[in-house]
Amino acid sequence: MKISIIIPVYNVEPYLGRCIDSVLNQSHQDIEIILINDGSVDNSGKICDEYAIKDKRIKVAHKPNSGVSAARNDGIRMATGDYISFIDSDDYIEPNMLKSLLSLCIKTHSQIAICAVKTRYIDGKVIRESYNLETEVPITNIVDRPTDFSKICGSACQCLYSLNLIQSQGGYFEEGVPLGEDRLFNMKIISSAKSIVYTNEPFYNYLHHKTSAVRSFRADYFDKICKFRIRQLEYMNTLNLNNEKYSRIFHIMFLDFVVNCINNAFSKNNSKENIKEVIKRILDSSLVKNSVNSGVFNEVGTSIKIFILCHKVKSKFFMLSIFKTLNKINYKKIFQELKKVNNTKRVLNKKI
């Protein structure tokens, strides 16, 4: 059976060759690789064209930058395989990923196969991320298990999907939601699958770039998480996932995004005015208020507990002071970790 691998490409010149090679070297060779060059300004587009000349299974489309969701949707429209896989162009996959996931789909008569992930950090650390699910057996009741369902709706990259399932559900990524698009896509597609299958094998390698202590402030971060939350609420109603259990899980998820947004506001060299504006918008948001008052306090981690308490005080100054202190502590830890990594590199270089 033929598998279409869709790879959106945007300014990933140092990593793109490794990603494409990992697909070309798959043990399952009945494939087509669809490279969507999403307006790259480095040599990524040129690399795509060079690979297409070498291998007739590679298709390339060049387009103005419009985001990963639009790029993936273009790939879905171009796909001619029986199954679809999505890969981010700075990641790579193990040689048996496609063959193993396809075999599981056929063996268990499932429409989606999902694998575990290895997260690789630039300091060499590797973390295996897996779900506590039944392995290599068909799972037909996943929507009735809200905790498990919410876990596996994370990344589209660790899934092999039946193209027929995607097409029958009008399955496209949300182009107007620049955050959480994978989760929305999977909410729709996985909930529609008659059966899914999971393997604990970490076939997908995710490259984690965020070890630097210097974060960049994203002025539109809060707008993005609010757009995601609004669409998530709409999906919950459409897909009949609006029961108490799902509501609590998604309240916690949204609050986690909000805390990340506040921490992002404390990016290095960001102005105090920007930080105050972010906190003001969060305090004024009815979406945030709804989740703060949802009664999930005893189910969340320390950082979200602190945020909920700060929000209930309704003091911008109080929240500013608390999170400023927390971020100073966090920066100190990050710098200590970076110092360890740099010292290790120096020792290794001397030995070499």
The rounded percent of the chain whose pLDDT value lies above 70 is 91
**Strand residues in 109-188 grouped as ranges (E):** 112-121, 126-129, 159-162
The domain total for the chain is 2
**CA-CA distance, 230 to 233, in Å (whole number)?**
5
Residue 213 forms part of a structural domain? no
Asked whether the whole model's pTM tops 0.75, one would answer yes
Query: Residue 109's pLDDT is what?
Result: 97
pLDDT band at residue 330 using 50, 70 and 90 as cut-offs: low
Which tens digit of pLDDT belongs to each residue from 138-182?
999 899 999 999 999 999 999 999 999 999 998 899 998 989 999
Residue 201 forms part of a structural domain? yes
The answer to whether residues 283 and 137 belong to one domain is no
Q: What share of the chain is helix, strand, coil (3-state, %, to 5)?
A: 55, 15, 30
Q: Which amino acid is at 277?
A: E
The answer to whether residues 247 and 204 belong to one domain is no
The answer to whether residues 319 and 237 belong to one domain is yes
The answer to whether residues 148 and 8 belong to one domain is yes
pLDDT score of 327 more than 80: yes
**CA-CA distance, 320 to 271, in Å (whole number)?**
12
Residue 284 forms part of a structural domain? yes
Q: What is the CATH number of the domain that holds 17?
A: 3.90.550.10
Residue 331 forms part of a structural domain? yes
Residue 89 forms part of a structural domain? yes
Question: Of 148, 177, 208, which residue sits at a domain end?
Answer: 208
**CA-CA distance, 252 to 103, in Å (whole number)?**
36
The answer to whether residues 24 and 137 belong to one domain is yes
Range of the domain at 296: 221-340
* CB-neighbour burial class of residue 209 (10 A; exposed 0-12, middle 13-18, buried 19+): exposed
Mean pLDDT in residue range 77-100: 97
The answer to whether residues 51 and 138 belong to one domain is yes
The answer to whether residues 229 and 201 belong to one domain is no
Least confident segment among 14-18, 32-36, 204-208: 204-208
Question: Of 208, 231, 265, which residue sits at a domain end?
Answer: 208
Q: What is the DSSP string of 137-187?
A: S-B--GGG-HHHHHHHTS-STTEEEEHHHHHHTT----TT--SSHHHHHHH
The residue written with tokens 């990963």 in the block is: 68
Residue 6: both structure tokens together: 């869709």
pLDDT score of 332 more than 50: no
Q: Which amino acid is at 18?
A: R
**CA-CA distance, 238 to 43, in Å (whole number)?**
42
Integer angstrom CA distances of residue 31 from 52, 165, 331: 13, 19, 45
The answer to whether residues 145 and 248 belong to one domain is no
The answer to whether residues 142 and 260 belong to one domain is no
Question: Of 150, 180, 208, which residue sits at a domain end?
Answer: 208
Which tens digit of pLDDT belongs to each residue from 185-240?
999 999 999 999 999 999 999 988 654 434 578 889 999 999 999 999 999 999 99
The answer to whether residues 159 and 185 belong to one domain is yes
pLDDT score of 345 more than 90: no
Nearest by Cα to 176 from 224, 111, 105, 137: 224
The rounded percent of the chain whose pLDDT value lies above 90 is 76
Query: Residue 162's pLDDT is what?
Result: 98
**CA-CA distance, 264 to 220, in Å (whole number)?**
11
User: CA 151, 153, 156 angle in degrees (round to 5)?
Assistant: 130
The residue written with tokens 């996959």 in the block is: 93
The answer to whether residues 95 and 166 belong to one domain is yes
Give the three-class secondary structure for 96: coil
**What backbone torsions phi and psi does residue 129 show, to the nearest 5 degrees?**
-115, 120
The answer to whether residues 226 and 201 belong to one domain is no
Residue 351 forms part of a structural domain? no
Query: Residue 215's pLDDT is what?
Result: 56
Residue 317 forms part of a structural domain? yes
pLDDT score of 53 more than 90: yes
pLDDT score of 46 more than 60: yes
Which tens digit of pLDDT belongs to each residue from 115-126?
999 988 776 788
Give the three-class secondary structure for 162: strand
Residue 311 forms part of a structural domain? yes
The secondary structure element, H or E, covering residue 215 is none
